[in-house]
Structure 1
Amino acid sequence: MDSSLYNTLLLVPASLLAVAFIVTGWRMLVGPNSLDRVLSLDAVVAMVQCALAVYICRTLDTTVTNAMIVVALLGFISTVAITRFRKRDGAQ
């Protein structure tokens, strides 16, 4: 495959991820309740994994796969911990 075509094809998901990061960051800051913030945190974890996958495709360097596994485990553990100890908004 031509190198310029390959780079162009990788530019599309990279730009979509950048837009998704902006929208998700806005939702994390403005979210009307804490559940929206937790969901946006999960979305950020998924987008970081996708960004690392795009990086792997761009550089053909597979050493980042360990970081992808760590991000996935930390995202799962943080989600479980937050949902375990979360109280309803306005509850005491």
Structure 2
Amino acid sequence: MTIVWTIVAVMLTAAAAVTMYRLLAGPSTLDRLVAVDTLVAVAMCGIGAWAGYSGDSTVTYGLTALALISFIGTVSVARFRVPDVKRRPR
């Protein structure tokens, strides 16, 4: 069973690395917003995997709080985002 947890950890680390690349190299703010959401989702998967590995269910409260805060943050950023439009000189 240790092999399964090792594979899960490697895959979550790879997902976080690819997401960080997109976060840093994203050409627009929407790309970066999606990358932040994906990074939070990867973190939530990591917390869930840790809860399964350790058998400790107390971390699921933090998982729920992270999901709610992430949703509210995403909606507020998407609502008040300024479009990435280059202005033409007059």
Greater relative contact order: 1 or 2 (C-alpha under 8 angstroms, separation 6 or more)? 1
Where do residues 63-82 of structure 1 align in structure 2 (5 Å cutoff)? 63-82=58-77
Percent identity, aligned pairs only? Answer: 34
Q: Which runs of 4+ in 1 moved over 6 A?
A: none
How many equivalent pairs are there? 87
Q: Counterpart of 1:24?
A: 19
User: In structure 2, what is the equivalent of residue 50 of structure 1?
Assistant: 45
For residues 19 and 34 of structure 1, the distance between their equivalents in structure 2, rounded to whole angstroms, comes to 23
Cα offsets for 1:50-78 (capped at 9, x unmatched) = 00011011111010000000110111001
What residue ranges of structure 2 are gaps of 5+ in the alignment? none
> What is the Cα deviation at residue 13 of structure 1?
1.4
Show structure 1 runs of 5+ residues with no match: 1-5
Equivalent-residue separation in structure 2 for 1:8 and 1:74 (angstroms): 33
Deviation at 1:90, TM superposition (A): 2.7
